[in-house]
């Protein structure tokens, strides 16, 4: 069946000039054709480079009103079990949990920078796990999420989530010590408008923590067009550390901290993706989100494999994962990792 999205696209695609959020230029040069190598959206796009500042974008640019059709047609919805969310959030505090996050590179999320007593807003909060974690770390948590399916989870877990956009100006009486965007800014057609709108939501010394893929990372240079974080057409902007700093300054923020963090699980997926040959319009089995019932491991293999063999397999997997973690922590030390975490404050210098 032809998805409804096809009509949306034939009406509007190709009419939106990509505008560079870093320098405002509309002049750019195409680098190469790109397409959805995960979920099978059939359209072809271009990766383009801004002629003035070098920022990379997906072109043609998607308009805000096209996103609903694109995501509901192609983007798989993750299966959420609220009991599992609560259990995961209960393990967030303590030095052991912090060490584990650092080692696995899963500390690439803004909510882990929260302090007790702070009021936090997570934009694009998804299932709400980040809000539960912030609460477990002693903060008050608010979220904004575009996916209407999240309202059921929010009700069940008694979370303060606004279904919609930050431009709806939800929670009008609340100012925030911390506003978080985890892997969200690269999906927003006009990220500068988002930065501008957030200024009036921060407390005077409030912090904005933005986490996004680093398009100049070592894994990108190794993987080239097969880098998993091009993630076209969902990722509209492909920032690196220098470009993002210029972008933030253009919108009146100063960078108070910037570092790279590489989740080891991303690298596992990257190594698998290097062996794939994606085809436009065909969903890639590697990225399929399986129903919960199918995720439960089959007992068949355990009947065939002895416990000794299973132990060896487990040890090999553990050793491989640990080696990747060690490698990633080293490249993060050099600022070459796969995702960038930036902490911003409003620039009040004269
Ligand atoms: Zn530019």
Tokens of 7: 């009509």
* Distance from residue 49's CA to the centre of ligand 1 (Å): 8
* Distance from residue 134's CA to the centre of ligand 1 (Å): 35
* Distance from residue 34's CA to the centre of ligand 1 (Å): 20
Q: Can you give the C-alpha Rg of the chain in angstroms?
A: 21
Would 70 be classed as within a structural domain?
A: no
- Which residues are bridge partners to 209 per DSSP? 180, 343
Give burial (CB, 10 Å; 0-12/13-18/19+) of 302: exposed
Would 75 be classed as within a structural domain?
A: no
Would 278 be classed as within a structural domain?
A: no
* Distance from residue 53's CA to the centre of ligand 1 (Å): 4
Would 40 be classed as within a structural domain?
A: no
φ, ψ for residue 138, nearest 5 deg: 95, 10
Tokens of 18: 């990509």
* Distance from residue 190's CA to the centre of ligand 1 (Å): 13
Predicted confidence (pLDDT) per residue in 190-238, tens digit: 999 999 999 999 999 999 999 999 999 999 999 999 999 999 999 999 9
* Distance from residue 216's CA to the centre of ligand 1 (Å): 16
Peptide bond before 233: cis, by omega within 30 degrees of 0? yes
- Which residues are bridge partners to 252 per DSSP? none
Q: What is the pLDDT of residue 11?
A: 34
Number of domains in the chain: 1
* Distance from residue 218's CA to the centre of ligand 1 (Å): 23
Would 272 be classed as within a structural domain?
A: no
Q: What is the pLDDT of residue 149?
A: 85
Asked if residue 166 lies in contact with residue 197, where contact means CB atoms within 8 angstroms, the answer is yes
Q: What is the pLDDT of residue 156?
A: 94
* Distance from residue 28's CA to the centre of ligand 1 (Å): 8
Predicted confidence (pLDDT) per residue in 270-279, tens digit: 999 999 999 9
* Distance from residue 249's CA to the centre of ligand 1 (Å): 13
Residue 146 neighbours by CB under 8 Å, 6+ apart: 67, 68, 71, 124, 163, 164, 165
* Distance from residue 242's CA to the centre of ligand 1 (Å): 12
- Which residues are bridge partners to 242 per DSSP? none
* Distance from residue 307's CA to the centre of ligand 1 (Å): 57
* Distance from residue 58's CA to the centre of ligand 1 (Å): 13
Alpha-carbon dihedral angle through residues 63, 68, 74, 79, given to the nearest 10 degrees: 140
Instruction: Supply the range of the domain harboring residue 101.
Output: 82-218+233-262+340-346
Q: What is the pLDDT of residue 302?
A: 52
Would 173 be classed as within a structural domain?
A: yes
* Distance from residue 25's CA to the centre of ligand 1 (Å): 5
CA angle 181, 187, 190 (to 5 degrees): 95
Would 307 be classed as within a structural domain?
A: no
Q: What is the pLDDT of residue 10?
A: 36
Predicted confidence (pLDDT) per residue in 91-105, tens digit: 999 899 999 999 999
* Distance from residue 163's CA to the centre of ligand 1 (Å): 32
* Distance from residue 52's CA to the centre of ligand 1 (Å): 5
* Distance from residue 246's CA to the centre of ligand 1 (Å): 10
Q: What is the pLDDT of residue 147?
A: 87
Count CA atoms within 13 Å of residue 89 on its CB side.
21
* Distance from residue 68's CA to the centre of ligand 1 (Å): 27
- With a cut of 70, which residues of the chain have pLDDT below it? 1-17, 291-304
Q: What is the pLDDT of residue 261?
A: 98
Residue 286 neighbours by CB under 8 Å, 6+ apart: 38, 269, 272, 273, 276
* Distance from residue 137's CA to the centre of ligand 1 (Å): 39
Nearest C-alpha neighbor of 147 from the set 70, 83, 68: 68
Q: What is the pLDDT of residue 206?
A: 97
Q: How far apart are CA 24 and CA 52, in angstroms?
A: 9
- Read off the CATH number of the domain in which 106 is found: 3.40.50.150
Would 136 be classed as within a structural domain?
A: yes
* Distance from residue 243's CA to the centre of ligand 1 (Å): 9
Residue 303 neighbours by CB under 8 Å, 6+ apart: none
């Amino acid at each position: 069946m032809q998805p409804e999205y096809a009509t949306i696209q034939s009406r509007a695609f190709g009419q939106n000039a990509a505008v560079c959020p870093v320098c405002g230029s509309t002049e750019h040069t195409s680098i190469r054709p790109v397409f959805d190598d995960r979920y099978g959206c059939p359209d072809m796009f271009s990766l383009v480079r801004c002629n003035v500042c070098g920022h990379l974008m997906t072109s043609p640019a998607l308009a805000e009103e096209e996103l609903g059709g694109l995501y509901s047609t192609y983007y798989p919805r993750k299966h959420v079990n609220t009991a599992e969310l609560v259990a995961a959030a209960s393990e967030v505090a303590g030095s052991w949990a912090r060490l584990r996050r650092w080692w696995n590179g899963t500390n690439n999320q803004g909510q882990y920078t929260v302090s007790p007593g702070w009021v936090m807003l997570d934009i694009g909060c998804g299932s709400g796990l980040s809000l539960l974690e912030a609460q477990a770390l002693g903060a008050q948590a608010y979220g904004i999420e575009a996916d209407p399916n999240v309202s059921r989870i929010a009700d069940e877990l008694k979370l303060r989530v606004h279904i919609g956009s930050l431009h709806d100006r939800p929670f009008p009486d609340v100012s925030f010590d911390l506003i978080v965007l985890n892997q969200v800014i690269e999906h927003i057609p006009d990220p500068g408008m988002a930065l501008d709108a957030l200024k009036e939501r921060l407390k005077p010394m409030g912090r904005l923590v933005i986490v996004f893929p680093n398009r100049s990372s070592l894994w990108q240079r190794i993987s080239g067009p097969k880098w998993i974080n091009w993630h076209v057409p969902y990722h509209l902007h492909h920032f690196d550390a220098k470009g993002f700093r210029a972008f933030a300054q253009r919108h009146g923020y100063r960078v108070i901290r910037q570092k790279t963090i590489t989740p080891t699980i991303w690298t596992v997926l990257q190594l698998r993706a290097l062996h794939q040959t994606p085809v436009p319009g065909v969903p890639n089995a590697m990225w399929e989100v399986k129903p919960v019932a199918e995720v439960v491991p089959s007992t068949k293999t355990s009947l065939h494999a002895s416990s000794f063999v299973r132990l060896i397999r487990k040890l090999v997997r553990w050793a491989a994962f640990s080696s990747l973690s060690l490698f990633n922590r080293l490249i993060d030390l050099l600022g070459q990792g796969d995702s960038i975490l930036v902490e911003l404050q409003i620039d009040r210098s004269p």
